[in-house]
Amino acid sequence: MLKAYGVSHWALSAAIWKLEVMFSGGPAGIEQISLRWIHIVSAIVWVGFLFFFLLVVAPTLNSLDPATRAKVFPALAGRGLWWLRWSSVAAWLAGFRYFMILAKTDAVNAGKPHAWVAWIGIWLVCWLAAFAVEMALIRAGGALGNKFVIGALVGFVMTATSWLVVSLLAQPGASNRTMCISIGGGLGTILFFNVWGIAWRCQKRLIAWTRASAENGTPMPAEAANLARMATLTMYINFWLTFPLIFFMAASAHFPFLSGG
């Protein structure tokens, strides 16, 4: 048995020594794999904390008595939201840079090497407009009825924006990869703006007020309930948008169903 082990070990060592490792693509290839690695790892942290907060933390806090919740919430939310916020920054920046590379490659292949600048501009303007409409819907809140009505309206806005972006970017030379990421990355941009533009702006005030209430007995301001509603609704919107986002990101390399004109 030891002899057999020795032979197997020798064969494995020989195979490893014969293995050739080649980093193809030069600096450009290394940049792209580095961007993808940073993007994926950061996105895992980001989405992981999002799911953890909504599926575990929120129900647990709701089950606690008000006094205990006031002590636990600031510490838990402050630390957890730090990871969620900054992982979103890393994921978005790496993803945006990678999207720029893909758009430029498609533009060069189409014989229009500078067209990618306009494509990126169109893409960004469309998703910024979608975020502005979404934020208006979230702020309108009570006037629109319940959270399901707002969620349905936001879903319609995101679907319409996705269709518009794909229609505008369906240029000759645009690949399935770029088209899919124009939607998945657009939804990721919405999630990113939701974190920094709505959820965190509400949560940091709620954390400060809750901490002051627990330490000094300071009453919560009247607007606290509305800020909590906006922050929670925004996080749930991010939760549901994560599913189509992941689909289009995966489809960019594994499900070619979109192409330019």
Give domain limits for the chain: 26-254
Q: Enter the tokens of residue 59.
A: 């129900």
CA distance linking residue 19 with residue 22, whole number of Å = 10
CA distance linking residue 90 with residue 43, whole number of Å = 8
Q: What is the pLDDT of residue 66?
A: 86
pLDDT, tens only, 1-20: 445 555 566 565 656 566 66
Q: What is the pLDDT of residue 2?
A: 44
Identify the CA nearest to 238 among candidates 165, 186, 187, 182: 187
Q: Please name the amino acid found at residue 3.
A: K
Identify the CA nearest to 169 among candidates 117, 130, 132: 117
User: What is the C-alpha radius of gyration for the chain, rounded to an integer number of angstroms?
Assistant: 23
User: Can you list the alpha helix ranges (DSSP code H) found in 64-175?
Assistant: 66-109, 115-140, 147-169
Give the contacts of 127 (CB within 8 A, at least 6 positions apart).
Answer: 161, 165, 186, 189, 190
Q: Enter the tokens of residue 120.
A: 């990126």
Q: Enter the tokens of residue 199.
A: 């959820």
Task: Provide the CA 163 distance to its chain's centre, in angstroms.
Answer: 19
Q: What is the pLDDT of residue 143?
A: 63
Q: What is the pLDDT of residue 111?
A: 85
Main-chain dihedrals φ then ψ at residue 103, nearest 5 degrees: -65, -40
- Measured on CA atoms in the order 192, 185, 125, 138, is the torsion positive or negative? negative
Q: pTM for this structure? A: 0.89
Residues of the chain predicted below pLDDT 50: 1-2
Task: Provide the CA 252 distance to its chain's centre, in angstroms.
Answer: 16
CA distance linking residue 175 with residue 260, whole number of Å = 6
Q: How far apart are the first and last CA of the chain?
A: 64
Main-chain dihedrals φ then ψ at residue 148, nearest 5 degrees: -70, -35
